[in-house]
Structure 1
Amino acid sequence: MTRTLTATVRPPDDAFPIRIDWKSGVTLSIDAIADHGSNVKKGGVLVRFDGRELEQKLAETTQAMSMADLAVAQAQEELAPLEETTRHKLEVSRRSAQVAKEDHAQFHAVQRKAREEQVAQQWERANQSLANQQEELRQLRKMYEADDLTEETEEIILSRQEYMVAAAQHELRMATLERDHTLATLLPREAAALAERERDTADALRAAESAMPLTLNKKRLELEGLRIQAAKAKQTLADLEHDHARLVVHAPADGILLHGAVEHGRWVPAAKPLTTRDPVTPHRAFATFVPSASPPVLAAALDEASARALSPDATGMAVFAGREDLDIRVKSGSPAATTLPDGTSLVTLAASWPQGWQPVIGSTAEVHLVVWHADDSLVVPTHALQPGPRGWSVEVKLADRGSARREVTRGRVSGSQTQILSGLEPGQVVIAPNPGG
């Protein structure tokens, strides 16, 4: 069973595709590139990209990276004391609120009553002192009135006692004023002040417990954001440095540079020779380097039937128009596991190229492949086979010149002939109907 295919010469599998595998996303163009089909020695320049924009961005990113690191360091320096002061301020607020609450409760439970008792006791003492002084003055007067004459000493004693009475009266008035002022003004005022202090410190504590953690978390988030920005700047810098190291592509071995690439197993030449300032599409090969030691291969697209029929290591011949005299033997590999967008399957053919001759990449050849072969096979015309309830059958000629149908097992089909695996013997005559009816 043979198939005739049109195959295209393409670079070998170990050819080196040249593409921009940039990480930075900077748009680059070609600064210099070897001519299409030119020989390049190992280490020679295949292509050089214009790196001015990339180098400018590299410098800017290096500066941005330094600023990002400084911002992170500054934020860390600010965060550490803020965490400490926040903790301290919250403790102070809680302690102030607790003290104010305890003072207010202590005032109503103990101090107010004690103060009331204190001023009452002071008033009672002043009142009692006045009564005592008045009684003593009365007794002195009573005693001295019994004498007809009042001596000078007695007058002095009476005068002194009258002063003591006046002083006691003054002390009583002061005690009365102090008592009334304390009960009517000072104690209510202190009670209100303590209540306000308890309320204010409680409000301040609630505000601190709400605002201070938010401020601290905001600072932490700002630091985390700065760290993320620094990490992004670091990654951007690494990407730019990665790309900067690839601005010049050198030949890994002796070989030739071709403007074009292998896509889906097929050679796709460049629309025009690449030159300076030509833009290139990232992550897509635009040129191919072929090592001198690697011979080109043939690639052919098979239709569905041919792909199924092709056996691995099928052999055949390749014929190039104008060089039909060359004996070029080929061997196929297995068809690709997936089909191309047009529904065909690609197969690569290894060729034994004549000494001193190789085809041009992109040229085509007619390939004749023996996709299947079996010695001593019985074959019949394909149109002699007819399907039936029990399978395939053919009509054979009998010795008495009659005919009969024989069930057969069908094998491979090649054009107008079909292999018969069982059901017929060599020498039997098969009656085939006229294909035209």
Structure 2
Amino acid sequence: MKCHSAPVPVQDRGVALRRRGGRFSTCTTGVWRCFVLFGVVCRDAIGPVADCLESSGSVSRRATGCCGGRRDSYRAGAMRPRSQGARDAMLRLSVLWSMFGLSWLIAAAPVAAQEEDEAAPPTHTIEPEPFKVEVSLSGTFEAEQMSEVILRPEVWSSFVVEKAVPQGAQVKQGDPILWFETEKIDDAITSAEFALELGALNLQQAELELAGLEASVPLDLKEAERRKQAAEDDYAYFVEIGAKRSREAIENSLKASEYSLEYALEELNQLEQMYKEDDLTEETEEIILKRARRDAEQTEFFTEGARLRYERQIKEELPREEERQKDALERATIAYARAKETLPRSLEEKRIELEKLRHARQEAEENFEQLQADRELMVVEAPADGIVYYGHCDRGSWPVSATIAKQLRTGGSVSANQVVMTIVTPGPAFVRVNIPEAQLRHVQPGATGVVVPTAFPDVRLPAVVKDVESIPISDGTFDGRIEFEMDRGDVQLVPGMNCTVRITVVNKPDALTAPKTAVFTEELDDSQKYVYVAVEEGEPEKRSVAVGETSGEEVEILSGLEAGEKILLKKPE
């Protein structure tokens, strides 16, 4: 599964160097031979040069022999050391020159090696080896059976925490796990009870009023109708008879007054004539005449009044009476019409009001009963046996656990219809994973693998993919359910713990693989793959291959190559 780069054999280096024109042998080796040859020449030339120097010393000594004495002896003795020193100097020069050539050869060796590497590109030998491809997914242990604790009150909304059992507590079904303050709801229940009693009294009063209206409305309608009919009769009588009779009565009254005046005047006239002819005393005559005259004056006054009343009644009172009769008729007609409309309506309104009171009483009764039921929620009991978790489980995780923990402190407030706790059956049942869309083809129901708990990295639990959602739960992510075998009692796993799920995609003991960098893609068809196969003579062979899965830097070769073949790790230049 690793990329292997084999060293180039010595014989292959020679082949490579010959292919490159023998630059190392013609350059490096040739120069080294020149240096060695020069050293040998210098060594062979040292003797003749020294002899020559010695001979020239002898001649010199003979030429200067006439000088004699110590000076000649000194020069003759000093020349021998000088020839020996020249021989030594030349020997040292040859050695130094040879060492310089050897140093240059050593320094040039890496350059030659680099030229050799450039000349022979790296290769990889195709050999059968184990090949395994796994898909690694992050997962969370989740319980199969969980019972949520949700506050579902009827009417109450204020839940102030008094105390709560801690997370991780082991509880039994029916055990108290959460307590709320009860003072406010008790006051509300008392008020609801008073409202219920008051509503009953109002309902009773409304029923009595409705019964009275139902009895009085028909009577009131009949009374209004009678008044209307009486007004119509009165007006008709006045128009047809009353006005005429009133006019005649006025006229007769006036005539009676006039007649009385006429009678009085006639009587006074007769008395005056009679008194002139009879023998009555003057005093008696005066009394009688005086009385008659006064009666005539009084009658005349009454007659004038009757005439004035006649004119007033004819011109004013009779027309006014007619208007009054007409107005009374109109008022009676309007009153009857109003009574016909309003009295039944008032009766219906009273009936509706009664129904409303009945409904209000029913609501009051329900509110009282609901408050009593909500009062029972002030002490929450465990719905099942298990472990207490705060909040709700969302695909194996507990996203609001910390928030709920703050709310469940003494004095904290919890909202209605909120999952405050979850009772979890001990022991995880399956693993919930998020499957990236790119790995969906590998993670299908039935695929096998292992589960590695984060808390126990050395534990391997056999696993199988049970279910995969057909639609994504978020952009590019699918939900998966992994079942596993729990056969180790010493490993304590609880829901909410994390793990890694490794799904085996390919597991072959003797697959042919190649480095990904050695497999190339056709530019015009990215589905076509090819490699360059190294050959002993000639250019590398371009060959098409079929590839399978990829693991790290290795890719499986399905066809196109045989074991033992060598491929180039880079494209040839």
| TM-score normalised by structure 1 residue count | 0.67
1:71 offset after TM fit, Å?
Answer: 2.4
Contact 1:21/1:283 (<8 A) preserved: yes
- Cα displacement string for residues 309-334 of structure 1 (whole angstroms, at most 9, x for unaligned residues): 53234332111243524534343322
Structure 1 residues 324 and 385: alpha-carbon distance in aligned structure 2, compared to 1, 3 A threshold: same
- The yes-or-no answer on 1:30 pairing with 2:164 is no
- The yes-or-no answer on 1:298 pairing with 2:431 is yes
Contact 1:397/1:429 (<8 A) preserved: no
1:4 offset after TM fit, Å?
Answer: 0.7
Structure 1 residues 118 and 397: alpha-carbon distance in aligned structure 2, compared to 1, 3 A threshold: same
Structure 1 residues 275 and 67: alpha-carbon distance in aligned structure 2, compared to 1, 3 A threshold: same
1:387 offset after TM fit, Å?
Answer: 8.4
1:362 counterpart residue number: 496
Distance 2:247 2:523 in 1: 126
Distance 2:444 2:320 in 1: 109
Q: Helix, strand or coil for the counterpart of 1:339? A: coil
Distance 1:386 1:53 in 2: 79
2:141 counterpart residue number: 9
Number of aligned residue pairs: give it: 403
1:76 offset after TM fit, Å?
Answer: 3.3
Q: Helix, strand or coil for the counterpart of 1:43? A: coil
- The yes-or-no answer on 1:262 pairing with 2:262 is no
Structure 1 residues 15 and 192: alpha-carbon distance in aligned structure 2, compared to 1, 3 A threshold: same
2:415 maps to which of 270, 281, 291:
281
- The yes-or-no answer on 1:63 pairing with 2:194 is yes
Distance 2:458 2:159 in 1: 45
2:380 counterpart residue number: 249
Contact 2:428/2:493 (<8 A) preserved: no
Contact 2:138/2:499 (<8 A) preserved: yes
The amino acid across from 2:196 in the alignment is: M
Distance 1:95 1:419 in 2: 113
Structure 1 vs Structure 2 CA RMSD: 5.5
After TM superposition, list the pairs within 5 Å mapping 1:92-171 onto structure 2: 92-114=223-245, 116=247
Single out whichever of 313-322 and 181-190 deviates more from structure 2.
181-190
Distance 1:259 1:247 in 2: 18
The amino acid across from 2:424 in the alignment is: V
The amino acid across from 2:231 in the alignment is: A
Distance 1:286 1:84 in 2: 60
The amino acid across from 2:148 in the alignment is: P
Contact 1:34/1:47 (<8 A) preserved: yes
Distance 2:240 2:225 in 1: 22
2:448 counterpart residue number: 315
The amino acid across from 1:74 in the alignment is: Q
Distance 2:569 2:343 in 1: 101
2:461 counterpart residue number: 327
Q: Helix, strand or coil for the counterpart of 2:177? A: strand
- Cα displacement string for residues 258-296 of structure 1 (whole angstroms, at most 9, x for unaligned residues): 23431355233632585444332332222211234x644
1:347 counterpart residue number: 480
1:143 counterpart residue number: none
1:77 offset after TM fit, Å?
Answer: 2.8
Distance 1:417 1:230 in 2: 81
Contact 1:265/1:346 (<8 A) preserved: no
The amino acid across from 1:249 in the alignment is: V
The amino acid across from 1:5 in the alignment is: L
Distance 1:40 1:19 in 2: 17
Distance 1:196 1:212 in 2: 23
1:40 maps to which of 167, 171, 174:
171
1:66 offset after TM fit, Å?
Answer: 2.9
| TM-score normalised by structure 2 residue count | 0.54
Distance 1:365 1:191 in 2: 108
* Identity between Structure 1 and Structure 2 (%): 23
Distance 2:513 2:469 in 1: 27
Structure 1 residues 48 and 101: alpha-carbon distance in aligned structure 2, compared to 1, 3 A threshold: same
The amino acid across from 1:311 in the alignment is: Q
Distance 1:75 1:433 in 2: 105
1:359 offset after TM fit, Å?
Answer: 0.3
Contact 1:8/1:267 (<8 A) preserved: no
1:16 offset after TM fit, Å?
Answer: 0.7
Structure 1 residues 263 and 415: alpha-carbon distance in aligned structure 2, compared to 1, 3 A threshold: same
Contact 1:260/1:288 (<8 A) preserved: yes
Distance 1:352 1:404 in 2: 46
Q: Helix, strand or coil for the counterpart of 1:263? A: coil
Contact 1:326/1:354 (<8 A) preserved: no
Contact 1:307/1:335 (<8 A) preserved: no
Structure 1 residues 387 and 210: alpha-carbon distance in aligned structure 2, compared to 1, 3 A threshold: farther
Unaligned runs of 5+ in 2: 1-132, 263-294, 534-539
1:75 counterpart residue number: 206
User: Which structure is larger by alpha-carbon Rg, 1 or 2?
Assistant: 2
The amino acid across from 1:287 in the alignment is: M
Distance 1:37 1:393 in 2: 58
The amino acid across from 2:140 in the alignment is: T
Structure 1 residues 371 and 177: alpha-carbon distance in aligned structure 2, compared to 1, 3 A threshold: farther
Q: Helix, strand or coil for the counterpart of 2:393? A: strand
1:60 offset after TM fit, Å?
Answer: 1.8
1:201 maps to which of 294, 312, 332:
332
1:353 offset after TM fit, Å?
Answer: 1.7
- Name the structure with the higher strand share: 1
The amino acid across from 1:75 in the alignment is: A
Unaligned runs of 5+ in 1: 132-165, 421-425
Distance 1:238 1:329 in 2: 52
Distance 2:548 2:219 in 1: 93
